[in-house]
Each structure stands twice: as structure tokens, then as C-alpha cells.
């Protein structure tokens, strides 16, 4: 049952600072009930109990944390159709997409449960004492990772489950031993409350401190900003716009104790069409591009928003196939009116740009529905007009026609940081691809051959990150098991009596975690 209440630890209360309403994306009508916005006092209480819970929660065993993550996943599944129906209404996304995202959400909770049980994330290192070493003896040194402290998480608009209340940021922070305060996205408050109650119930069932998890709604920006600024919060997980991400980074940097903001923000995910591949299958690539571009109304952070190609054999076939495919597409409902408005604005700028040609548009639709589009420009124009690199969040892409390989490389050199870069190649392109790869590695977190960035596998080897402005920290990923490292820090214990050592670094190793040991002499 959805009540519109805040979840502050184990308690519920009606927020008193304004109201938020879920909106049915397809019709624009309000969905009951209304949600009370959190006051600063509510946020302060959530941060206080998270801080009080931290030392207890971070000392839980790997098994205890794994059980929490698995219990959250099973509770989400137990919500059944109530969750799916509400999420479909609030987002306008098709039911099959939401069901798939629910599976992904539960799957990543299970992934982190397995990571925690395995124990390598603790990175235990033991250097035994060397009392007879000359000229100086070595003390006994032992290192393990601990959680950084309470973490603030901001739910994303385009993934109401997998990047939201119990999404990757929350799962990895809990796995690291960090209490979490989630600021729900206002586009899907009902979905957020349902999942939040599933997390709250799991915390209670596992007999963990109530401050391990809280969920708040924000009717204004003040509470979101205060969450980042609160001195008890030690890290932020965020997925959203560049403007909001940079604003949070600035708030965090101005704190007396600056903290990391792990923000996934803006990416146009270039797709490079190499000459041999273009000549061999230009038309096929054109059709595949449109399928990737229009998936989910183009509302993916890995959507292919830029195409780079040399004007050579197969180029015309590629453009013709893409034109035909996009012309046949139907308009799709976008997540929110605000996202639709921003998409329309970005497309209008491309349509009216003096150096851009409209290749084709999809079929027009109704209110809050996006009409897909493909546009074209030259490499010279792209290099001269910085605004052509701006992300248009939705089903729109810009083809950059290059005269030769040298010009294509020049365009790549001028690109900002990206989440993904895709290379469409055949064997005849290998030499050029080999030459270009070191540059591409500097530009993106994930390189893809003969595919597109849409579809992010939740796995050990996945990187969902990249140089700014794709993310705020190029060293991290927000998807995959490596995401846990964002919320950990190392602590070294020197010359500690065995009775005082944490379980992970003790010789008894009751947790059975991997230990890298230098036995000394």
C-alpha cells in the first residue's frame, strides 16, 4: 500500500514541506496519493540515525550483509504486480521493460551478496612482524577496507528500479557496510515508496540498526542540497543531468570536510563506422542504429547520440537505411513532461542549426511523446560549433561526415569524456582501429566492437563510467561489482594485540575471507 510517507529508519511519517504527486506519463493525470516533502528536520533525523547505525552496521559479517541484500531482492519480488503496475503508470515504459528492470535490480543485489560473501572486496593484507630485521625491525601491519560512512543516493529518472531506491548505488553502499539515505526521484514517488518499504522491511527482518536505510521525498531543492552538505554524509551516488551533478560536486567541495560525489551525468556515446565495415554492411548498420537509438524512447545514458563516418563506399547506403528505418518509427512516451520539453528543445536546436541537415524524422505523436530524429553535419562544422557536442537526451543522433581518416581522428580528439564508444569494424579496419584505440581509451570507460552502448551488463568486468563529463570520477564505475570500491577506504592496524584485531585481519580468520600474507622472517 502506498501512503505518501517518508521512511526515516524504521518509522514512517508524513512530510510537512510541500507536496509531490506521481504523474501518469501517458495521460498527464495525477496519481494518488500525494507525497509530503521532507523538511530539513526530517533529513537531519535520517542523517543522525544513519551515523548512529554506521559503526554497528559496518562491523556486520559478510554473511549478514549478504543476507540483507538477498532479503531486499526477495521483498521486491514479493511486491508483484503492484510494483510493476505503478512503475508503468509513472514512467510510461512498457511492462516488459519494467519486468526486465526488476530482474536486473534483484540480480545486482544478488551479485553484491556474492561479492560480500567471497570477501575479496575487503582486500585484506597482512605483513607479519619482523623483529630481527636490520637495521630496523618491522612491526606487524594489517590492512582491510571499511565503509566510508553514511551515503546519500539520488534516484534516477530513467531507471526507476535499477538506478533508484534499491539500485546499484544503494546495493553497493550497503554491501560496503554504509547506511544509505535515498532521495527519491519525483518522477516515480509511488514506485520509490514501494521499493523503500521493501528495503525497510529487510533491515527489520535482519535485525539491523534502523538507521541503516531511510527514504525521503523533496518538494524543493533545499533538502537535496542539504543532503550533500550534511556533515554526517561521507559520499554521494548520483545519476542524472550534468547541471545537477556539477552543482552537487560544488556543494561537496565547499564543505569543511569535502566528500566524493560519484556522479554519472552526460554522454553522447559516439559510434565510429570504419571504412571496410561501412562498405561491407552500411545498410545493415543503419538499420541496427535506429533500433538502438529508439529503444526506450532513447532514454538511456548510453544512447548512440553521435555517429562518426568517413564519406566513403557504403556511407550513402548507411544513411539511406537509417533514413528509411527512422521514418517508420512511431513516437514514444517520455518519462516526464520536463524530459520531453528538454528533448524538444535539443532537437529544435539541431533542426534550426545553420550547419546541420535533417536526414529524417520519425512519426509525430501526441502529448509527451518524442518524435525520433537523425541529423547530419560535416566534420569541419562539428569542430567549429562546440554546441553540437551537447547531449540531446532521447531518440536523436547526429551523423558527422568526415572526408578521410585523418579528419575522423581529429573529431575524436576534440570529444569530451564518454561512457561508451562503439567501433563498427571488419578485418580490413584492424590497422586503423589499432592506431585509434589508445585515443579511444582516453575518451571512454567502455569500448564496444560491432554493437551499441545500450544494454549494460551487471557483472564483474563491466565499467559504467568514463572521463568528465560522463562521470565526476574517471576511476570508478556505477555498474558491476567494482562499484563497491567507491564506498570503501583502507585502514591499517599496526602492532595491534590479537585480541583487538578486527575479524577480517585476525589470524583466526573466522569469516574465511581471502588474506594476502607476507609471513616475515
Q: What is the mean pLDDT of residues 440-446?
A: 98
Secondary structure of 143-208 as H, E, C letters: EEEEECCCEEEECCCCCCCCCCCCCHHHHHHHHCCCCEEEECCCCCHHHHHHHHHHHHHHHHHCCC
- Whether 319 and 226 map to the same domain: the answer is no
- Whether 250 and 301 map to the same domain: the answer is no
227 vs 246: CA distance, rounded Å: 15
- Whether 236 and 366 map to the same domain: the answer is no
Does pLDDT of 176 surpass 90?
Answer: yes
Q: Is residue 264 annotated as a catalytic residue, yes or no?
A: yes
**pLDDT tens digits along 105-148:** 999 999 999 999 999 999 999 999 999 999 999 999 999 999 99
pLDDT band at 160 (very low <50, low <70, confident <90, very high): very high
Does pLDDT of 40 surpass 80?
Answer: yes
Does pLDDT of 83 surpass 80?
Answer: yes
Catalytic one among 70, 101, 193, 264? 264
Domain that holds residue 394: 270-449
Place of cell 531518440: 395
The answer to whether residue 456 is domain-embedded is no
The answer to whether residue 501 is domain-embedded is no
**pLDDT tens digits along 235-266:** 999 999 999 999 999 999 999 999 999 999 99
- Whether 247 and 371 map to the same domain: the answer is no
pLDDT band at 482 (very low <50, low <70, confident <90, very high): very high
Per the model's pLDDT, the better-predicted residue between 353 and 1 turns out to be 353
Q: What's the CATH number where 248 sits?
A: 3.40.605.10
- Assign 3-state DSSP to the chain and report helix, strand, coil percentages, each to 5: 45, 20, 35
Q: What does the pLDDT read at residue 242?
A: 95
- Whether 205 and 331 map to the same domain: the answer is no
Q: What is the DSSP string of 72-114?
A: HHHHHHHTHHHHHHHHHHHH---HHHHHHHHHHHHHHHHHHHH
Q: What does the pLDDT read at residue 284?
A: 98
Q: What is the tally of structural domains in the chain? A: 2
- Whether 169 and 305 map to the same domain: the answer is no
26 vs 88: CA distance, rounded Å: 10
Do residues 98 and 161 touch, judged by C-beta distance below 8 A? yes
The answer to whether residue 254 is domain-embedded is yes
The partner residues of 21 in beta bridges, in order of sequence, read: 34
Question: Going by C-beta distance under 8 Å and a sequence separation of 6 or more, which residues neighbour residue 261?
Answer: 228, 235, 236, 238, 245, 248, 249, 252, 472
Do residues 517 and 124 touch, judged by C-beta distance below 8 A? no
Per the model's pLDDT, the better-predicted residue between 9 and 220 turns out to be 9
Catalytic one among 178, 301, 376, 402? 301
Indicate the SS3 state at residue 339: helix
The answer to whether residue 293 is domain-embedded is yes
Q: What does the pLDDT read at residue 395?
A: 96
The answer to whether residue 4 is domain-embedded is no
pLDDT band at 521 (very low <50, low <70, confident <90, very high): low
**pLDDT tens digits along 6-15:** 999 999 999 9
Percent of all residues in the chain with a pLDDT value above 70, rounded to a whole number? 100
- Whether 108 and 256 map to the same domain: the answer is yes
Q: What's the CATH number where 413 sits?
A: 3.40.309.10
357 vs 231: CA distance, rounded Å: 50
Q: Is residue 492 annotated as a catalytic residue, yes or no?
A: no
Does pLDDT of 277 surpass 90?
Answer: yes
- Whether 111 and 142 map to the same domain: the answer is yes
- Whether 298 and 376 map to the same domain: the answer is yes
Q: What does the pLDDT read at residue 367?
A: 85
* Residue 214: half-sphere exposure toward Cβ, Cα within 13 Å: 32
- CA-based R_g, the chain, Å: 25
The answer to whether residue 331 is domain-embedded is yes
The answer to whether residue 94 is domain-embedded is yes
The average confidence (pLDDT) of the chain is 96
**pLDDT tens digits along 230-242:** 999 999 999 999 9
Does pLDDT of 71 surpass 70?
Answer: yes
Does pLDDT of 45 surpass 70?
Answer: yes
Q: What is the mean pLDDT of residues 74-78?
A: 98
Q: Among 449, 465, 481, where does a domain finish?
A: 449
Going by their DSSP bridges, the two strands 19-23 and 11-13 should be labelled as unpaired
- Whether 411 and 424 map to the same domain: the answer is yes
- Whether 282 and 412 map to the same domain: the answer is yes
Q: What is the mean pLDDT of residues 329-346?
A: 94
The answer to whether residue 6 is domain-embedded is no
- Whether 235 and 378 map to the same domain: the answer is no
Amino acid at each position: 500500500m502506498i501512503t505518501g510517507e517518508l521512511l526515516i529508519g524504521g518509522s514512517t511519517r508524513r512530510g510537512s514541506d510541500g507536496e509531490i504527486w506521481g504523474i501518469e506519463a501517458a495521460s498527464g493525470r495525477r496519481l494518488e496519493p500525494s507525497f509530503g516533502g521532507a523538511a530539513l528536520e526530517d533529513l537531519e533525523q535520517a542523517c543522525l540515525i544513519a551515523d548512529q547505525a554506521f559503526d554497528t552496521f559496518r562491523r556486520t559479517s559478510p554473511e549478514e550483509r549478504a543476507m540483507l541484500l538477498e532479503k531486499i531482492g526477495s521483498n521486491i519480488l514479493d511486491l508483484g504486480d503492484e510494483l510493476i503496475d505503478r512503475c508503468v503508470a509513472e514512467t510510461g515504459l512498457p511492462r516488459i521493460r519494467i519486468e526486465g528492470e526488476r530482474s536486473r535490480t534483484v540480480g545486482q543485489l544478488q551479485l553484491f551478496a556474492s561479492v560480500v560473501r567471497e570477501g575479496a572486496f575487503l582486500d585484506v593484507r597482512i605483513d607479519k612482524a619482523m623483529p630481527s630485521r636490520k637495521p630496523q625491525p618491522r612491526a606487524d601491519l594489517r590492512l582491510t577496507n571499511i565503509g566510508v560512512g553514511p551515503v546519500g543516493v539520488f534516484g534516477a529518472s530513467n531507471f526507476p528500479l535499477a538506478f533508484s531506491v534499491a539500485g546499484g548505488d544503494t546495493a553497493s553502499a550497503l554491501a560496503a557496510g554504509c547506511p544509505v539515505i535515498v532521495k527519491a526521484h519525483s518522477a516515480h514517488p509511488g514506485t520509490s515508496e514501494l521499493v523503500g518499504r521493501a528495503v525497510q522491511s529487510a533491515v527489520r527482518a535482519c535485525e539491523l540498526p534502523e538507521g541503516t536505510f531511510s527514504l525521503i521525498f523533496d518538494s524543493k531543492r533545499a533538502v537535496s542540497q542539504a543532503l550533500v552538505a550534511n556533515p554526517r554524509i561521507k559520499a554521494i551516488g548520483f545519476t542524472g543531468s550534468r547541471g545537477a551533478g556539477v552543482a552537487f560536486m560544488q556543494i561537496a567541495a565547499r564543505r569543511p570536510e569535502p566528500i566524493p560525489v560519484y556522479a554519472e551525468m552526460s554522454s553522447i556515446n559516439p559510434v565510429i563506422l570504419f571504412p571496410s565495415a561501412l562498405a561491407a554492411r552500411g545498410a545493415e548498420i543503419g538499420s541496427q542504429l535506429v533500433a538502438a537509438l529508439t529503444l526506450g524512447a532513447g532514454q538511456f545514458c548510453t544512447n548512440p547520440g553521435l555517429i562518426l563516418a568517413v564519406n566513403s563506399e557504403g556511407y550513402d547506403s548507411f544513411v539511406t537505411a537509417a533514413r528509411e528505418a527512422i521514418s517508420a518509427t512511431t513516437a514514444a512516451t517520455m518519462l516526464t513532461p520536463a524530459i520531453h520539453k528538454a528533448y524538444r528543445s535539443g532537437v529544435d536546436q539541431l533542426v534550426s542549426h545553420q550547419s546541420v541537415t535533417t536526414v529524417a524524422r520519425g512519426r509525430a505523436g501526441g502529448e509527451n511523446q518524442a518524435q525520433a530524429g537523425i541529423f547530419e553535419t560535416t566534420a569541419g562544422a562539428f569542430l567549429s560549433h562546440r554546441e553540437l557536442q551537447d547531449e540531446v537526451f532521447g531518440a536523436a543522433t547526429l551523423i558527422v561526415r568526415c572526408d578521410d581518416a585523418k579528419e575522423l581522428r581529429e573529431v575524436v580528439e576534440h570529444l569530451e569524456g564518454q561512457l561508451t564508444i562503439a567501433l563498427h569494424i571488419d578485418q580490413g579496419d584492424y590497422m586503423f582501429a589499432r592506431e585509434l584505440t589508445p585515443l579511444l581509451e582516453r575518451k571512454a570507460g567502455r569500448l564496444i566492437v560491432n554493437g551499441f552502448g545500450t544494454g549494460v551488463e551487471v557483472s564483474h568486468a563491466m565499467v559504467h563510467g568514463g572521463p568528465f563529463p560522463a562521470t565526476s570520477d574517471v576511476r570508478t564505475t556505477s555498474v558491476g561489482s567494482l562499484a563497491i570500491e567507491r564506498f570503501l577506504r583502507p585502514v591499517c592496524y599496526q602492532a595491534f594485540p590479537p585480541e583487538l584485531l578486527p575479524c577480517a585481519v585476525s589470524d583466526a580468520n573466522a569469516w574465511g575471507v581471502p588474506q594476502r600474507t607476507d609471513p616475515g622472517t
